[in-house]
Copies of this chain bind each other. A is one copy, B any other.
Amino acid sequence: MKTLLTASAIALTVGTAAAQDFSSTLPDAVGRVAPALESYSNNDLFGTVWQGQALSSRDRALVTFAALMTRHEADNLADHAALALDAGVTPAEISETITHLAFYSGWGNATAAARAVAPVFEDRGVTADDLPAVDPELLPLDEAAEAAREETVRGNFGNVSMGVVDNTRELLFRDLWLRPGLEPRDRSLVTVAALIAAGQPEQMTFHLNRAMDNGLTQAEAGAMLSHLAFYTGWPRVFSALPVAKQVFEARAE
C-alpha cells in the first residue's frame, strides 16, 4: 500500500474554517473488519485526496454531502454534515442543498437528510435565523435563456407530460434556481455531484456547463470527479468522464 503523504497530515488542513477530523466519518468497525480499508482511508482518502489543492476542502465537503444524500446513505450523513460545517460550508448552504436536492434526487432523500442533520444543527446551536428564508427576494432571471430552455422542453415533452413541463418552469427555473441561499455556481455543483452519484451522466451536460458558466473552473471540475470516485465508486466517475470531456472540448472551441 502506497502512502503519498504522511499520516500526520490527516487531521490538519490549511485555509478552511476549522481543522477537519476525518476520522469521525470512519466508524471503528472499519478497523476491526477491514484494516486495509482503514489504512486506505487515512493515508490516501483523508491524507491525500482531501488535501488536494485543486479543489477547496469546502467544495469537497459540499459535493461529498450531495453525493451521499443522493445515495440515501442516511447512516453516513450526520458525520459528513459535521465535516462540511468544519470545512466552512454554512448551515444555510447545507439547508439549501437539502431543499435543492429534494427536487434533483428525490423528496425521501431530502427528508432523510433533514432527519440526519437536525441533531448536528442542534448540537452546534444553529437556529432558524441561520437558515434561508422560505420566501426570499429571488435573484434576477435571465429571461431569454429561460425562454429558450422552456421552449425546448415544451417542444420535446409538452405532449407527454405538461405537468413536468409546468413544474420545471414554475418550481425549478423561476423559483428554486433563483433562491439566493446557495450561490448559482454551488447550486450547479451539487446538482452535478448528484447526477454523478445517481449514475445519470446523460443529464449532466446542461448542469456542468451551467456550473462553469457560473465560475467552476475546469481544474475544479476535474478534481471533483477525482474526489467523487471515492464516494460514488470508480465506475460512476468513469461513466461521467466522457460527458465532462465533451463539455470541456465544446467550451474550448
Q: A-side interface residues toward B, CB under 8 Å?
A: 1-2, 4, 25-27, 29-30, 32-41, 44-45, 49, 52, 54, 68, 70-76, 94-96, 98-99, 101-115, 117-118, 121-122, 128, 131-135, 156-157, 159-164, 167-168, 170-172, 174-175, 179, 181, 194-195, 198-200, 202-203, 221-223, 225-227, 229-239, 241-242, 244-245, 248
With a cutoff of 8 Å between Cβ atoms, the chain B residues found around residue A1 in the complex are 134-135, 175
| CB-CB nearest in chain B for A54 | B163
Give the CA-CA distance A99 to B35 in the complex, in Å.
9
With a cutoff of 8 Å between Cβ atoms, the chain B residues found around residue A225 in the complex are 160-161, 163-164
Q: Is the CB of B95 within 8 A of A229?
A: no
Q: Is the CB of B33 within 8 A of A118?
A: yes
Q: Is the CB of A2 within 8 A of B34?
A: no
Give the CA-CA distance A159 to B222 in the complex, in Å.
9
Give the CA-CA distance A175 to B230 in the complex, in Å.
15
Q: Is the CB of A233 within 8 A of B104?
A: yes
Give the CA-CA distance A76 to B174 in the complex, in Å.
29
Q: How many copies of this chain does one complex carry?
A: 3
Min Cβ gap A11→B in Å is 18
Q: Is the CB of B71 within 8 A of A171?
A: no
Q: Is the CB of B112 within 8 A of A245?
A: no
| CB-CB nearest in chain B for A138 | B1
Q: Is the CB of A171 within 8 A of B2?
A: yes
With a cutoff of 8 Å between Cβ atoms, the chain B residues found around residue A159 in the complex are 245, 248
With a cutoff of 8 Å between Cβ atoms, the chain B residues found around residue A44 in the complex are 167, 171
Q: Is the CB of A179 within 8 A of B36?
A: yes
Picked from B2, B25, B35, B75, the residue with its CB within 8 Å of the CB of A131 is B35
A-B contact pairs, 20 of them (CB 8 A): A1-B134, A26-B111, A29-B111, A29-B115, A30-B114, A36-B96, A36-B133, A44-B167, A54-B163, A73-B108, A101-B233, A106-B230, A106-B236, A108-B231, A161-B223, A164-B222, A198-B199, A199-B200, A200-B235, A203-B238
